[in-house]
Amino acid sequence: MGQLAFAHSIFLFSSRLHKLPIRFTSPRFSLPSFSIRAMTSHSHIVGYPRIGPKRELKFALESFWEGKSKAEDLKQVGADIRTSIWKQMAEVGIKFIPSNTFSYYDHVLDTTAMLGAVPPRYGWNGGEVGFDIYFSMARGNDSVPAMEMTKWFDTNYHYIVPELGPDIKFSYASHKAVEEYKEAKALGIDTVPVLIGPLSYILLSKAAKDVDKSFSLLSLIEKIVPVYKEVVAELKAAGATWIQFDEPSLVMDLDTLQLQTFTKAYSELESSFSGLNVLIETYFADVPIQTYKALTSLKSVAGFGFDLVRGTRTLNLLKSGFPPDKYLFAGVVDGRNVWANDLAASLCILQVLEGIVGKENVVVSTSCSLLHSAVDLVNETKLDKEIKSWLAFAAQKVVEVNALAKALVGQKDQAFFASNATSHASRRSSPRVKNESVQKAVAALKDSDHRRATSVSARLAAQQKKLNLPILPTTTIGSFPQTPELRKLRHVYKAKKINEYDYVNAMKEEIKKIIKLQEEIGIDVLVHGEPERNDMVEYFGEQLSGFAFSVNGWVQSYGSRCVKPPIIYGDVSRLRAMTVFTSSTAQSMTRRPMKGMLTGPVTILNWSFLRNDQERHETCYQIALAIKDEVEDLERAGISIIQIDEAALREGLPLRKSEQPFYLEWAVQSFRITNCGVKDTTQIHTHMCYSNFNDIINAIINMDADVITIENSRSDEKLLSVFQEGVKYEAGIGPGVYDIHSPRVPSTEEIADRINKMLAVLDCKVLWVNPDCGLKTRKYSEVESALRNMVAAAKLIRTKLATGN
């Protein structure tokens, strides 16, 4: 009976998601505007995935970008997704349903459009920001590059970085928040419009190019507040009774001026809040004590949202004092993982909170937006039954929030709670979770720092003697375009519609084609192109113990790019060699060096849904030992260059400075474990992308890789400023010379100019020439032209260096 009740409750929320796109022509029900005081249960969702349960938004976007569909078609898919989500939340019983959390690309870019903060190079002449300008900012166009993209706090989501200068003129240029509120209201659903708060928007921005160094972004707060006032006034006029301001920057270590700016912004907004309930939402960590005091002292704010999952000190903060007659939005359901909530434990926390703030003032919520979780477990037909019973995706988390809210007011669903308890007991007792030999191997690691025996300069000399590479060697990051034909081939093989012999031969032909192209272009160090890989993490997880995989567990990374994180449920070990056959086969097809391509332990960890019953570093060490086995097998197979990608190392850095040293210690050590046993003549590469690396440059040096390739061009080459400031880097380094996340093809002259800028701060003996990142998402027509220009630029600079010009 318990399992049936559990399944029925989940079904209520997810029964229509998989049928998108759906066109709803009239509302099925009407909900009046409500006051929280009259509620029998208080429930809230911070935000929800926008991609659709089967990536409907992704396919609609790509069809539109390719000219196969019209803007109206794209807008209809967006409307269908929004309608389905709102109706289902209302049907489940959620009281505070968010709107304006949907986005066609990125919610920070939406705010840039709302504020009219369009950089001049996009030729915007005022008025409503439309798709042409919006997507040019996100992706670039034939004449101008895209805006910078970087990681959203410590997640794998990427946002488009606003570019602001002292002369910018803000204006209300996108009415999306109001339009979506009205759209929901027309369905009979009163929603809570969500806006990125003014402080977080400013702190997530960067100064525009060529702006005087004395310029402070914080000085712009007075200019953007009037636009926020216009938005708030229009929302109020449309009937909104609650507005949510997301201020995740409040969990950071803010200085006095930043805190003063926050208080000033909301003091100036206070007059526009009259007649409204305002919620300020924080997430991803606990709020520092001084920030907590400044936040909770705001008189015009009705409620405050806190993360009680990652905010490990939040409960103690609340016990220290919470303002009377304010609402606490308690984020007890994890928005960043896929494990079923421990309902009994969460209910205990909520009951403690009731004692602090009063029963009527507690609102049950998610810890953050569910954007970071997979969409719906109902769509998973191939997951192991036992493991599936341990999980909850976004749709199921909505049901959990509502169940907790009802239990808090005496309406506990006993069968639902009993089913949940059974699932947790099953997970705790399952023999597939623990592996004693793996745990012993990790325990034995503590006696070494796992450094290679010789210095990087000595190793590079030995490697150059073996490899004989030219000055400014050219390479790519790893992946080549994944064509529809290639994806189809993998799909039919997985479906067992072709045999292994035919599949392997087809892959060999694809690799041969990729190698031939690189040789013809003139690239010095080759890659096999990774045609056999679905994803740089999933591919390895499928060959390691302790991992499970979903079919539709997609999560948005940026724009139309979605990833399907593996689920780490148990101890990790390597079952067999994973890449040796492919790498050695590729090396046999060319005389040029062929990189063996691996994903590093920290990236596998950070790009997976982690087990929450074990410390992160313990799991990371387990993965590191598995990758170490693979590295040593590749070396034995004759692979002289092995790249161990750590694209997500910076991403996992804790948001609070006090917690960062420990993370960097074990993350760097995990990388060193993977390659500490190789010979000096084996060259170890790593790759990092789309984060701010300047503040962890010493940790990067401490990784002791022989060569690092690192994203640089899309971030306006700010990485180079580290070396301008005198940081000494003796290993090989390849700052990216062009942005691969834009369809734009850079000219030879543009790339040569970038190389010259690098040579102004880096020795030509250590500089490599490569793109920002892998080429998986691009078309061959774009890749071939860009790589030809890249190689031509490298040769041009080599000639100039040789002649002294």
C-alpha 56/C-alpha 88 separation (Å) is 17
Which one from 42, 372, 424, 741 is the annotated catalytic residue? 741
Strands 362-366 and 327-333: parallel
Which of 778, 797, 680, 754 has its CA nearest to residue 477?
778
Tokens of 243: 């507005």
* φ/ψ (deg, to 5) at 474: -100, 145
- Paired tokens of 313: 């000190």
**Degrees to nearest 5, angle at CA 65 with 556 and 208:** 70
Helices (H) and strands (E) in the chain, counts: 28, 20
- Between CA 303 and CA 285 the distance in angstroms is 18
Burial label for 436, CB within 10 Å (0-12, 13-18, 19+), is: exposed
Those residues with Cβ within 8 angstroms of residue 277's Cβ, 6 or more apart along the chain or in another chain: 36, 241, 242, 243, 302, 303
DSSP sequence for 610-665: --SSS-HHHHHHHHHHHHHHHHHHHHHTT--EEEEE-TTTTTTS-SSGGGHHHHHH
Contacts of 546 (CB under 8 A, 6+ apart): 435, 568, 569, 570, 571, 572, 573, 622
How far does Cα 143 stand from its chain's mean position? Answer: 28
Nearest to residue 198, comparing CAs of 163, 224, 167, 180? Answer: 224
Q: Are 253 and 288 in contact (CB under 8 A)?
A: yes
CA distance 170 to 193: 21
Q: Please check whether residue 47 is in contact with residue 408, taking contact to mean a CB–CB distance below 8 angstroms.
A: no
Give the number of residues written for the chain.
805
Helix (H, G, I), strand (E, B) or coil at 770: coil
Q: How far apart are the first and last CA of the chain?
A: 82
H-only helix segments in 637-760: 660-675, 697-702, 720-724, 748-759
Q: Which residue is associated with the tokens 């062009």?
A: 738
Decide: 335 and 397 in contact? Cβ < 8 Å.
yes
Q: Is 741 a catalytic residue?
A: yes
Closest CA to 202 of 158, 154, 262: 262
User: Number of C-alpha atoms within 13 angstroms, CB side, residue 104?
Assistant: 29
> Which active-site residues does the annotation give?
741
